[in-house]
Amino acid sequence: MDWTEIQITIPARQVEEASAIAQMVVPYGIYIEDYSDLRTEAPKIAHIDLIDEDLLAKDVNQAVIHVYISPEENPAEGIAFLTERLGQAGIPFSIGTVSVQEEEWATAWKKYYHPTRLGKRLVVCPSWESYEPAGEDVVITLDPGMAFGTGSHDTTRLCLQLLEEYAAPGKTMLDIGSGSGILAISAALLGCDKAVGVEIDEMAVRIAKENSAINHTQDRVDFLCGDLVSRVEGSYDILCANIVADTIIRLLPDAAPFMKKDGVFIASGIIDQREGDVLAALEANGFQLVERRASGGWVALACRLR
């Protein structure tokens, strides 16, 4: 059956806020065409041939957000939500729709993903490309499929950079809202003895398990479908939540019991305007900030229990 593709065109300078709104429409992810920093950022990625001629011809002043609505859903509801929320945020936009076959959109986004260095050691490489590791590189091979989280977004990159600081042999890690599985799999590749991802979307769990198999981490990584409280057991050295500010705030009372005494909680997916709200909630739930990172209007926080 045909899916509906909603295309939202917005100024590139407001793509972060607009993408956060668009992400609320569907549980299985979006993809974003944003070429505003292509010429300045691509040369910073060592050992990677990133720029294609077709990409260089793209409009750097506008971004396009693609949202896909399944045949069982009503696209009018998504359009109405986007129209209201983008209008409230004061973001100029235009919206169009096209009908696409599932097979077409399930692979169309692949041309926008290339090997990308995310931190000091971590490099994420799409499964359909190749990358030759250099030095102490840790390469995670990823097929994101329909699940959100490839490492290309600031929120995931910030979370992975903090994870690099704390992941080590002998430690365990829990990823809340695991998406494509990139965080849990990276934790295992960085040396953690065990990583668990919990995710409410069945499709994301399936894709995460496939990604774990690609990276040969099945013996150390497990993915569970359900919510944090009902599915997860035990306590962990590292908790990661790369979600959105409101969800992070809601889960904080439930997160502490899953942390070991000296554990660290890494929260990402926080728009900088909401950082104060998250910090207040962390304080109220007994957490103390130990490290902060920011990029592109997004913030990631590493905290410990007081």
Is pTM beyond 0.85? Reply is no
What single letter denotes the amino acid at residue 33? E
Q: Is the pLDDT of residue 152 over 70?
A: no
Q: How far apart (Å, rounded) are the C-alpha atoms in residues 202 and 224?
A: 9
Q: Where are the alpha helices (DSSP H) in 190-274?
A: 202-214, 228-231, 245-255
Query: Among 118, 183, 179, which residue's Cα sits nearest to residue 148?
Result: 179
Give whole-number Cα distances, 189 to 65, 176, 183, in Å. 32, 18, 10
What is the structure's pLDDT at 3?
84
The token pair at 52 is 């294609």
pLDDT > 70: what percent of the chain? 84
Predicted local confidence at residue 160, as pLDDT: 93
Domain range summary for the chain, segments of one domain joined by +: 2-111, 143-305
Give the residue-averaged pLDDT of 276-302. 94
pLDDT in tens, 254-269: 999 999 989 999 999 8
CA separation, residue 63 to residues 36, 151, 177, 194, 244 (Å): 8, 19, 26, 39, 21
Q: Judge if 2-111 and 143-305 fold alike in CATH terms.
A: no
What six digits make up the tokens of 212? 């774990």
Q: Under CATH, domain 143-305 is a member of which superfamily?
A: Vaccinia Virus protein VP39 (3.40.50.150)
The architecture that CATH gives domain 2-111 is 2-Layer Sandwich (3.30)
Average pLDDT, stretch 280-293?
Answer: 96
Mean pLDDT over 166-182 rounds to 93
What is the reported pLDDT for 106?
61
